[in-house]
Amino acid sequence: MEHLGYLFAAYSIIFGAIFLYVVFIWRRQAALDAELRALEAQMAALKEASTAASVPEHSET
């Protein structure tokens, strides 16, 4: 079959690129989740500190 090489190249590039983009999104997501956990920890610490100090808290949720 002539031109099979071109067909193969086109399809592999297309799906390869899409796969790479998904990986890119996935890795960004992992970093984002780590940041989110850090923020949640900060919030928990804040809650403890404010109830411990009995400072009237502005309702900020």
Partner 1 sequence: MNNSAIRNWLGYATLALMVAALFMVFDYVPPEAEQGIAQLIFYFHVPLAWVAFASFGLVAIAGIFYLWLGDQLWDDLGYAAAETGMVFCTLMIVAGSIWAKPIWGTWWTWDSRLTTTFILWLMYGGYLMLRASADDTPQTARFGAVLGIVAVLDVPIVIASVRLWRTIHPAVLVTKQGGHGLEDPRMVATLLVCVAAFTLLWVWLLMLRFNQLLTRSRMGALAVRIAFASAAVAGGK
The two three-digit tokens of residue 34, written as one number: 């780590």
Q: Which residues ranging from 4 to 43 are in contact with partner 1 (CB under 8 A)? A: 4, 6-7, 9-11, 13-14, 17-18, 21-22, 25, 28-29, 32, 35-36, 39, 42-43
Number of other CB atoms surrounding residue 27 within 10 Å: 10
CB burial string 29-50: b at 16+ within 10 A, e below: eeeeeeeeeeeeeeeeeeeeee
Binding site for partner 1 (CB under 8 A): 1-4, 6-7, 9-11, 13-14, 17-18, 21-22, 25, 28-29, 32, 35-36, 39, 42-43, 46, 49-50, 53, 55, 58, 60
